[in-house]
Amino acid sequence: MLKRISITGPESTGKTDLAQSLSKVFNDKWISEYARDYLEQNGPDYTLGDVENMAKGQWKREEEMAKVANQYLFCDTDFTVAKIWCEVVFGQCPEWIDTQFKQHRYDLYLLCYPDLDWSPDPLRENPNNRLELFDLYHQSLKKIGANFQIVDGKGHQRVQKAVSFVKHC
């Protein structure tokens, strides 16, 4: 049975690198962050409706890749990101995103701790409040009773922690 693993957390916490690394270690599939592709194509200005469209695009990408994954599907982002993004930027979350956040559960959420250096990127917005955002992720995952583990450390140590969590989920 396929296990879906979400790699989630604030910006610039190594989610993409971790998803790629886990994909290599377990020789299975990973999906990239749809929002990045969307913003690169449409520009960095966005609306609440755009965030909902990005979440739907991510979901579609995930469902397509789930058809070809073997044992694991490593997801570089999830509905937690969309929910918190909407709440922080717009002060509200579309019902569809909130419902998906509560109902679509991953077998494991790897919550990336913001102990990596900030990596500047024109699509990133929050270099100074990553710990605050991390706390929002942590609280949100606890509130829904998600199976999650916090991944911290740098380089190989970070990947090895994540590998251990995946092996035990």
Does residue 26 have a pLDDT over 90?
A: yes
Rounded to whole angstroms, the Cα distance separating 89 from 80 reads 14
Percent of the chain residues past pLDDT 90, beyond the cut: 92
Task: Read off the amino acid at residue 114.
Answer: P
pTM over 0.85: yes
Q: Please, which pLDDT band fits residue 8 given cuts at 50, 70 and 90?
A: very high
State both tokens at 47.
């609306």
CA angle 98, 17, 47 (to 5 degrees): 35
